[in-house]
A and B are shown apart, each in its own frame.
Chain A
């Protein structure tokens, strides 16, 4: 696909009004899938994207250059108390541009537990199959497991715990290790590479640098959107799009914020509520051997020993454990403290392995909108989730020791440095409080949930013509990487959408 096939708000001169059948807000996994499917069905599609359109040569592998390009707020988005960094994509392809390609279906107990018609594991399976085929999903080859992931595997196997290799959507990967900064080698089989070109080829218009500010509702029906072209991040010309259907696909944060800002009807009282984040904490192990975890495929192995999809209130085994290495800026930010003590920690970089416990959370947060129109993410871990997270952090430390770590560093504000397994309980004893330790979340979900805000087809309750096709749909957290499920949800919703417009 030539770069010219994607339009940019930068090039729009003067206010513009466009007409189409379907306007899609956001071009990540869900939005790109809807755009492709609807365009292939012969519908006139316009997809609007707040961020830029980037091609592989734009991905320079430098954190300071890629963070402003690929992430909302340059990577600075957080919960309103600053306790959890909420990293979300910005740009054509959304978070699929910077994610690490993990492809895993949502577990059957989770999907079946929703009790939503059409979304049970067996019913969603055909949609997953399409996605897995189109994105070339396959298990990582054994030979591609890098040293950080080999540490995880070694520790898990030594403990006799449950774990295994992960599947990815990549082809022609050279193992540069810069997935999270966009793939300069074009190996990611993602929304940017696979779905957007197919959508454009089928006739869809994709406009980057164009921020949707409002869904227009008339007489109880969504009839289009009002957007602003962006130039150097600043709003310019007005872009009005009239459409028979409006699809919100700007993430569980962006879509909910847009719905709230637009005053979309909320008969359930649940718009923007029910937010889950999969917050995670990282633990570092110091080894005698050289690991250089920045080299190779970042995440190829998982530990599921502490992850049970049991909804019982007393189930504290709700963390998914995987590796979490970062390039220097990311690593520096995750290490505690400052000054000489911090730099001393940084010198351990080549001999550090990092694991993370990602919480299959039950705590419910919410999305609001600031007076300036920006999303506000409110979220606090409840007591049970705090227990589960600390248990997962303890398990990470146990794995690292089992793999041969000389020390384990737990990045509390006053860091715990453990020298043996006898000290593991100190992690749980320390407890959790906001900002201690710092948490990171990359999977917002649940703010426009199935069966509450939208029906089982993804159609808005109370406003005909409005649809949702992103992670907002999921009524609970998934307990695993959501991208495959968001693609599948987009595929499913697109089918219903096309059927409704025929």
Chain B
């Protein structure tokens, strides 16, 4: 069966807490292999969109489709198989503080092996954990506890945990928030590496416009493990990155980085300044 081109689709989604309407009639689509950067100031509901996509929250109105399935009315138990195909990196890392790095990253594999249908030996689990920790450059921290890690290391462990089952869709909640420029660059390089080497689709929530432009204008450089401009070597690589700006519970702008730069809208001008 052909893979659905629509990975995530929000159709007139509304969400309110009491009388406070956070999202009103929000509609957008994330396509296969695409990165959709959700921008907006604090409190515009960007993180809520990720939680809605995972089924951690239920919309008051509208429909949400993930990988072809309508998750709007699904029971919690029915969502678990679908969540296996989605990886999320939380803004607050959300590492289990009583478990070490190995147990955090291996959590899903151990749960599936002990309580599910997966049949993996301890050696196989450790090999896969080491592989993914090597991918994020943290293999040496495998036996450390979360409180022994820096903020950037915790983010990378969070990323490793999201990647352990190689999900086709990744949700990033402000993965560079509160990090120094060097660590932010490391995280962004990893995300771009993931996009370019595994063709993962992604929703990327951020307040930092520069993140959006780095994602849109750079590709992974396998020769040095860093980034290179998308328009280099005489070739223009399509980074398949679109931007979506939320404002007052709705979508204020949706388009490419070039389109947002060319826009004459006063709010966009202020946001870009």
Query: Do chains A and B stick together as partners?
Result: no
